[in-house]
Amino acid sequence: MSNHLKNLKLKIWRQDGPNTSGRFEDYIIDEISDEASFLEMLDVLNERLISDNKLPVVFDHDCREGICGTCSLMINGQAHGPERRTATCQLHMRKFKSGDEIVIEPWRASAFPIIKDLMVDRSAFDRIIESGGFITAPTGGAPDANLIPIPKPVADAAMDSAECIGCGACVAACPNGAANLFTAAKINHLNVLPQGQAERYKRVEAMVETMDEYFGSCTNHGECEAACPKEISIDVIALMNKDYRKSKVKNRKELSRG
């Protein structure tokens, strides 16, 4: 049976554009079902703002199923809010109670400049992927799944990394604004598979060095793992660091072979 939450006090970051200063604005949600998702609660607020001839709150969202990684809110100081392994779009209002104050901010990281209100520019992630997060070897049409034998632990490790939805919570939660968890997941899901071996060391060198251009350095706080809605383990960072060190020898050898 659904209950209704009353008198929610929202403190929302409003910012007109990337080069203007922002401020918190206060809103009240008088009544909302605890079955509503967090984003549906914001939809209700926006409908009210629009009918009052005010500008709605801009926030990112797409699939609303925890798949696309588009939603990105800092809720009461926690990336994606109070529930572990949950993206903002899958967070429900039953996690809150009547009379709660909810502070809603965009991701805070210098590599993710604010576009407007709660929406940030995460294209620095795209630069990392462009530098090596793909396979260029011609593989032809999609082969039958069982044609390339891959041991189960390897397939599982690749899938664990491939769960990364690229939301950026790891960066927002990290005190250094580091993107090591994201980059390591994107490297690892290719580097552990046979199809990823041909470019393994070129990939890791390029992606780590592109990451370093945009993001802060990892000092093993582990906040990224705690904030990740897919619970990607920081073990992937150790694997990335190991491959990066090896890449410095292997890539040099390849260059000297011409």
Stretch that binds ligand FES, among 19-27, 64-72, 187-195, 247-255 (CB under 6 A): 64-72
Stretch that binds ligand FES, among 48-56, 69-77, 181-189, 239-247 (CB under 6 A): 69-77
Q: Judged by CB under 6 A, does residue 240 bind ligand FES?
A: no
Q: Of these, 11, 14, 48, 64, which contacts ligand FES (CB under 6 A)?
A: 64
Q: Of these, 44, 49, 58, 68, which contacts ligand FES (CB under 6 A)?
A: 68
Q: Judged by CB under 6 A, does residue 73 bind ligand FES?
A: no
Q: Of these, 28, 50, 55, 63, which contacts ligand FES (CB under 6 A)?
A: 63
Q: Of these, 38, 69, 96, 203, which contacts ligand FES (CB under 6 A)?
A: 69
Q: Judged by CB under 6 A, does residue 71 bind ligand FES?
A: yes
How many angstroms separate the Cα of 1 from the Cα of each of 20, 94, 155? 45, 12, 41
Stretch that binds ligand FES, among 18-26, 59-67, 99-107, 120-128 (CB under 6 A): 59-67
Judged by CB under 6 A, how many residues of this single chain contact ligand FES? 14
Stretch that binds ligand FES, among 81-89, 135-143, 152-160, 194-202 (CB under 6 A): 81-89
Q: How far is the CB of 39 from ligand FES (least distance, A)?
A: 7
Residues forming the site for ligand FES (CB under 6 A): 61-64, 66-71, 87-89, 165
